[in-house]
A and B are shown apart, each in its own frame.
Chain A
């Protein structure tokens, strides 16, 4: 019998969706049946909405099964693995080479996967899988055929810009650190993915940790660093686990350590667990954190390129930036520049989440209009609701409205809208999301995360939050909008680091594009989106209600009366206005006023 591989998507999202049970079941089946099959794990393909994913690779090709539970897995094993008959109804057609059915939608056609090329393909805990896909070829080529200047030139020519959000040219950053002479230099990989609503780095580290290590080694070769740190979020235990495995395996093969590939270059890497502070996304705060201090930013200059970790020249880039580098060295700068726009070359990974039909992780060429990313790749708004805004760049970014959906995703075009590209989080919002509440949410986040060093950030964000809370509670004053704008201006101007300088952005963009919602809250004491609790009450239209009991079951306070077949009603005194009933009502009978 031919060799068959059963591949299970085993990243955090897959496991959360139930991949563990499916894996254990399939492993038990394979162990008891002599079917010539092996079970392997891989990272995430990015189709998180269809997790858990199970792939069968046999002599007929690749078959990808979606939304696999134990029941489906048993049938897939019995019918496909043992009897050789694929189950069409369970397939993710687009990636199943010989499916007889047309895909219902395409999610991969418009993607170009450079950073994600191995994610969901290889076993991230097996270095041989990475080596088999040109892994560490770039490092070998660099160390045996290229000088550090050659590597730097290639990266500079590629136009690669920092993927953590700032968009600073990577090659230029490396050249700064390179020119400072020192007995010791350090390299840092920022894997402290602090933006709420973004998970590109988690996925990359869980799916292809070696690509990040290889990119780091290449950067270290350029600047002359002998030691590197990956500063990773403690909330990402699986990513840290896989990074540590990857580092150990690379050391065993002599790819990390002394005299790599027989050259004079020596380099090693250690994982440093972060302890939860958004401000550590700022590089001087991150450095303070590695040194064991409170993560507070300091004045630059001197820049870390000159005096960074323990006073030594230090280069810091984000996970995705490093993950692009091996590809660039293997394929050349011109090949990379073939993707994207003139000023934003290459591709960018985005995490699609919120009220979107197909949430997941995608990688598209820079310059693709937002509309295509959200509607063509991501399938548009879930439950056929109306698009209202997409939040880009997390707490430092902003909300981009429907009329700007044709904006291309590149650094400069996104900045022109008032948002920022950020690290790649896209959170989609529909007509039931209140934009004033979104602004309040972000301000409450930045207010909590402000390190307290700068007065305008520490106190200014609190003052802004108080105004926003007042507005969402129906106690807004006519002068509030002006006060928000004035505070925003001062905080932006008088804060030392990026956290404070960008904290007002979510307020400013919502004021710019959704000012009428602020005005409705302040003047009419009304929340047009029906979300701000103090301003709404929930009701059920008896004519539309079928008495299905979905709302009554969903209600956390059991305040919905009515029984199966009889119209429901809400006891207003006990209602906490959480909106659970509206979320689950199949006929749209729940409304607010």
Chain B
């Protein structure tokens, strides 16, 4: 806990005194830690003077921010209009099945994968599309999706 607070303070400190810094400061934390730990908001208040309530309000307003830890590989399955009409639902099902995600869970027990459905990745002519980390995969079908996941699994092993 103490270590996290120190680390958070180091991330947050450079934003002190900047106008309009709420979103950039949250983005900086998430870039480093993968999510916004609960202590983030108090640290933001202490270091920058932005009220914790305001930072939390902003964090929960925007789709980008998450308050739960993420797996090592963040899988963003696109559900934009083009992907939707070309079967993104099937891709989501395939990912869930293949990773063994049950019920509401979106992160695997070993913290290797987190699944997220996103509005649009802007690669509509290659629909359906998913993104793992910074890499985008297009023209997906169930088989291809499974192969991609297997490849990541092999890398982890």
Residues of A within 8 A of B (CB): 12-13, 15-17, 48-49, 51, 193-199, 202, 233-237, 273-278, 289-295, 310, 351-355, 359-361, 391, 394, 425, 427, 429, 433, 438, 441-442, 445, 451, 553-557, 576, 578-580, 583-584
Contacts and interface: CB of A to CB of B under 8 A. Distances in A.
Given A196-B80, A433-B85, A580-B87, A17 B62 contact: no
Contacts of B122: 12, 193, 198-199, 202, 233, 235-236
Contact of B141 (A273, A433, A583): A583
B23 A580 contact: no
A355 B124 contact: no
Given A359-B124, A553-B143, A13 B119 contact: no
B84 A16 contact: no
Interface centre among A234, A427, A556 (most CB of B within 10 A): A556
Interface in B34-63: 50, 57-58, 61-63
B81 A12 contact: no
Contacts of B134: 237
Given A16-B129, A234-B64, A292-B21, 16 more contacts: A12-B122, A13-B123, A16-B136, A17-B138, A199-B122, A276-B64, A293-B22, A352-B125, A353-B125, A353-B127, A354-B82, A355-B86, A359-B82, A553-B142, A556-B142, A584-B141
Nearest to A378: B125
Contacts of B139: 17
Contact of A16 (B79, B85, B93, B138): B138
Q: Which 8 A-B pairs have the closest CB atoms?
A: A197-B81, A359-B125, A276-B63, A196-B80, A353-B124, A292-B22, A275-B62, A353-B82
A578 B93 contact: yes
A429 B26 CA distance: 39
B73 interface: no
Nearest to A16: B136
A17 B126 contact: yes
Contact of B84 (A202, A233, A441, A583): A441
Contacts of B126: 13, 16-17, 48, 51, 359
A277 B137 contact: no
A578 B87 contact: yes
B141 A554 contact: yes
Interface in B82-129: 82, 84-87, 89-90, 93-94, 97, 118-127, 129
Given A234-B27, A580-B141, A15 B85 contact: no
Contacts, number: 165
A354 B127 CA distance: 7
6 contacts: A197-B81, A277-B62, A292-B23, A353-B124, A394-B81, A425-B81
Interface in B62-78: 62-65
A290 B137 CA distance: 31
B119 A578 contact: no
A580 B97 CA distance: 15
A273 B118 CA distance: 17
B40 to A, nearest CB: 15
A557 B62 CA distance: 34
B139 to A, nearest CB: 8
Which of B84, B94, B118 has the most chain A CB atoms closer than 10 A to its own CB?
A: B84
Contacts of A291: 19-20
B27 A294 contact: no
B61 to A, nearest CB: 4
Interface string B6-31: 00000000000001111110110000
Contacts of B93: 556-557, 576, 578
B127 A290 contact: no
Contacts of A276: 62-64, 119
A252 B63 CA distance: 36
A12 B80 contact: no
Contacts of A289: 23
B120 A235 contact: yes
A556 B118 contact: no
B85 A355 contact: yes
A296 B41 CA distance: 21
A292 B141 CA distance: 40
A295 B62 contact: yes
Contact of A48 (B119, B120, B125): B125
Given A196-B80, A354-B86, A16 B27 contact: no
B142 A441 contact: no
Name the residue among A198, A235, A292 with the largest chain B CB count within 10 angstroms.
Answer: A292
Contacts of A195: 81, 120
Nearest to B127: A353
A354 B120 CA distance: 13
A557 B129 CA distance: 20
Contact of B124 (A236, A292, A310, A351): A351
